[in-house]
Amino acid sequence: MSAEPSLHHTDVASDAPAASDGGKPVTSGGTEQPTRNRRNRRGRRRRGRRSGRPTDAAKPDSAAAKPAATGPSTPKPSDLANRNRRKDSGGGNGNSGNGGNKGNGGNKPSSPTPNSARRGGRRPADTDPAPKLRTVRETSAGGLVLSDIDAPFDDQRAALIGRVDRRGRTMWSLPKGHIETGETAEQTAMREVAEETGIEGTVVAPLGKIDYWFVSEGRRIHKTVHHYLLRFTGGELSDEDYEVSEVAWVPLTELPRRLTYSDERRLARTAESVIADLRSDPTRLAQSEASCIRTEPNDYEKAAAARNQRRNEPPPPVKSRRRRRRPRRPATGDS
């Protein structure tokens, strides 16, 4: 007598959702098979996990609410959530669960883009960038005036000027000023020394130039200053200039400690070596002093004087850039 196969099989309709949700079908003995549904796994990886979707557990006619004939009495809550996520994302018939578009599975952006931004309209006022500062180039010349270049090094003194800043501190520096039209840099250095200190001098040798940036009166200024070594020829110290609050003779050895700005302190150390070289050879000193006597400005000095003359002129008006409006797109909402 042949053994009849058992007519009691698992309900295929009730087990199919469980097999597709977790990828582990349930058999009659309640064991799980290691088979995975590759299609469902790839779909979840592409679409990502979603939360906050309503479930169909409360629907009496839903396939998820039917208990299996054998094995677990009811599907797991996680299986129900996975199946509903697949249904909402358009895995079954290609339609979204909430009536959205088919391409994105009914997803709506969390922060919709304003119509003005899509049409190329102007951004809100709180996001407008700050106005750019106007950049201005200025060129100046100044000098380090020695009381007696032929005296011993320890007995030499230099003329400094002091200006009071906004905090009430005295800032010590070398006299200097802008190059004016028709002047050479050497002539500007001698003129500025006479105006700011009251003494006169002649240029002996160049010391070098320094440049720096700062912001003043809504402008971003790039300033270049050419410095020269000057020999004292006459006059008395005076602080009659309105830009100067104090003037003084300072020993040359104390300049690195007395000067406020680091660039001028380095320049004072350079002056010590220049003075030593000039004093070692009197012929070289005379040649250097004669070469610094110029009366005609070169092209660089002419361009610098023109830039300095325009520094106080009002900036040109900024032309408003009219943005071309794009044609308004017709509404594409679902009817």
The answer to which of 161-170, 273-282, 294-303, 314-323 has the lowest mean pLDDT is: 314-323
Radius of gyration in angstroms for the set of CA atoms belonging to the chain, rounded to a whole number: 43
Report whether pLDDT(245) > 50. Answer: yes
Distance CA 63, CA 47 (A): 23
Confidence label for 201 from pLDDT (cuts 50, 70 and 90):
very high
Judged by average pLDDT, the poorest of 56-65, 235-244, 266-275, 293-302 is: 56-65
Please tell me the predicted confidence (pLDDT) of residue 52.
52
Calculate the alpha carbon distances from 63 to 15, 30, 35, 51, 297 in Å: 10, 19, 22, 21, 97
Distance CA 210, CA 204 (A): 19
At residue 45, does pLDDT exceed 70? no
Looking at domain 134-309, which of 3.40.50.970, 2.30.29.30, 3.90.79.10, 3.40.50.720 is its CATH number?
A: 3.90.79.10
In angstroms, the Cα distances linking 129 to 115, 124, 126, 182, 256 are 21, 11, 9, 42, 43
Question: What length does the chain have?
Answer: 335
Q: How far apart are CA 271 and CA 149, in angstroms?
A: 11
C-alpha 173: how far from its chain's center? 32
Place 127 in a pLDDT band, splitting at 50, 70 and 90: low
Task: Give the residue extent of every domain in the chain.
Answer: 12-88, 134-309
Of the listed ranges 104-113, 262-271, 274-283, the one predicted with least confidence: 104-113
Please state, in angstroms and as integers, the Cα–Cα distance from residue 1 to each residue in 4, 7, 8, 60, 334, following that order: 9, 17, 20, 45, 68
Q: Where are the alpha helices (DSSP H) in the chain?
A: 12-22, 38-47, 77-88, 115-118, 185-197, 255-258, 262-280, 282-291, 299-309
**236 or 109, which is more confident?**
236
Q: Does position 46 have pLDDT exceeding 90, yes or no?
A: no
Q: What are phi and psi of 230, to 5 degrees?
A: -120, 150
Q: What is the mean pLDDT of residues 109-121?
A: 50
Please tell me the predicted confidence (pLDDT) of residue 133: 85
Burial of 263 (0-12, 13-18, 19+ CB in 10 A): middle
Place of tokens 């994105």: 104
Examine the pLDDT at 224 and tell me if it is beyond 70.
Answer: yes
Confidence of residue 172 (pLDDT cuts 50, 70, 90): very high
Name the pLDDT band for 99 (thresholds 50, 70, 90): very low
Strands (E), the chain: 134-146, 157-164, 170-173, 176-178, 199-216, 219-235, 246-251
* In the chain, % of residues over pLDDT 90: 42
Q: By three-state DSSP, how is residue 63 classified?
A: helix
Q: Count the Cβ atoms, other than its own, within 10 Å of residue 128.
A: 9
Burial class for 320, CB neighbours closer than 10 Å (0-12, 13-18, 19+): exposed
pLDDT attached to residue 326: 74
